[in-house]
């Protein structure tokens, strides 16, 4: 009997009150660490005032989702009334963390796998996998060394590339394909594609959706650059772009799993995506 007591299996801890998915995400973050993700407000470079402005603009949308709003307010110890601009920034940053973490339901629990910074003091990363119980009890299954997040700075999968044979989807472009590019003097010339590439999209990645006054429309990552070197994420309504002006600029969620880019031969490395001249992000 003594042997059975000593060697018997442990009794699982009783399950407490179930939490909302957002509360479970905070439980995971508090236990495992803050997700390392591709922040649209700071990648590839931070823009002064950009995150604060977005926080103010997103405040009504976040507040409208009562479940997530309540979870953030409780976790960040924010007041229940109207928030100051500084508190809206705290709210917005917590909201981005929740969007960066995906929980997948597995029976009565939720599994997770995401990247965190290692605590060794070096700029190294760990991919942590585990599960969280409905009452917020977190179990870590593995910690695996990994690399930095593959932050995409490329085009949406449905983007059309201008070629001498008409428009082709960027996903159909192959090395050697002739596309329109610009010569040193700006004239349009045909050149073969030297390289094509794609990048996996991390959870919560946002894309810039812009519309020009002449009807041209583009969906690409904030870090992608125009032909004159500006990042799409730094543009705003009213800015000039490729012979027209921007009448709509917004950040929107991206549903596909990869973004794409290409590098044409020639001195400029530019091409036309959905009719708008852009620079390639691939090394020349």
Give residue-wise pLDDT tens across range 54-107. 899 999 999 999 999 999 999 999 999 999 999 999 999 999 999 999 999 988
Angle at 110 between CA 118 and CA 207, to 5 degrees: 65
> Which pLDDT belongs to residue 46?
45
Set out the domains of the chain in order of their start, with CATH numbers: 21-146 (no CATH), 160-279 (2.170.16.10)
Q: Is the pLDDT of residue 150 over 70?
A: no
Using the predicted structure, report yes or no on whether residue 123 has a pLDDT greater than 60: no
pLDDT value of residue 64: 95
Give whole-number Cα distances, 189 to 147, 169, 179, 206, 252, in Å: 39, 19, 8, 33, 33
Strand segments (E) across the chain: 104-106, 109-117, 125-132, 138-146, 160-163, 166-169, 178-182, 188-200, 206-212, 217-220, 240-241, 244-253, 258-264, 270-273, 276-279
Asked if residue 53 has pLDDT above 50, the reply is yes
- Inform me whether the pLDDT recorded for 183 exceeds 90: yes
Q: What is the pLDDT of residue 152?
A: 62
| pLDDT confidence of residue 12 | 57
Q: Which H helix or E strand runs over 59?
A: helix 50-64
Beta-strand relationship, 276-279 and 270-273: antiparallel
Averaged pLDDT, 119-126: 71
Dist. CA 89–CA 86, nearest whole Å: 5
C-beta neighbour count of 103 within 10 angstroms: 17
Q: Is 234 helix (H, G, I), strand (E, B) or coil?
A: helix
Looking at per-residue confidence, does 257 or 91 come out higher?
A: 91
């Amino acid at each position: 009997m003594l042997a059975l007591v000593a060697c018997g299996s442990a009794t699982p801890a009783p399950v407490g009150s179930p939490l909302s998915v957002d509360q479970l995400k905070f439980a995971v973050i508090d236990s495992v660490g803050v997700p390392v993700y591709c922040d649209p407000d700071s990648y590839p470079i931070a823009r002064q005032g950009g995150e604060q402005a977005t926080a103010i603009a997103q405040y009504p949308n976040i507040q409208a989702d009562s479940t997530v709003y309540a979870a953030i307010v409780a976790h960040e110890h924010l007041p229940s009334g109207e928030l100051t601009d500084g508190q809206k920034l705290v709210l917005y940053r917590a909201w981005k963390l929740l969007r960066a973490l995906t929980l997948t339901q597995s029976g009565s629990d939720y599994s997770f796998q995401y990247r965190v910074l290692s605590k060794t003091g070096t700029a190294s990363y760990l991919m942590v996998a585990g599960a969280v119980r409905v009452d917020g009890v977190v179990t870590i299954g593995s910690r695996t060394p990994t690399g930095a997040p593959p932050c995409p700075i490329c085009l949406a999968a449905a983007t059309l590339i201008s070629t001498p044979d008409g428009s082709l989807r960027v996903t159909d472009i192959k090395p050697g394909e002739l596309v329109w590019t610009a010569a040193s003097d700006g004239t349009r010339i045909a050149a073969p594609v030297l390289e094509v590439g794609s990048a996996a999209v991390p959870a919560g990645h946002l894309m810039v959706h812009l519309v020009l006054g002449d009807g041209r429309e583009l969906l690409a990552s904030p870090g992608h650059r125009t032909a004159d070197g500006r990042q799409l994420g730094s543009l705003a309504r009213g800015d000039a772009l490729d012979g027209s002006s921007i009448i709509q600029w917004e950040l929107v969620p991206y549903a596909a799993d990869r973004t794409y880019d290409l590098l044409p031969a020639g001195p400029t490395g530019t091409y036309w995506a959905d009719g708008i001249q852009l620079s390639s992000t691939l090394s020349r």
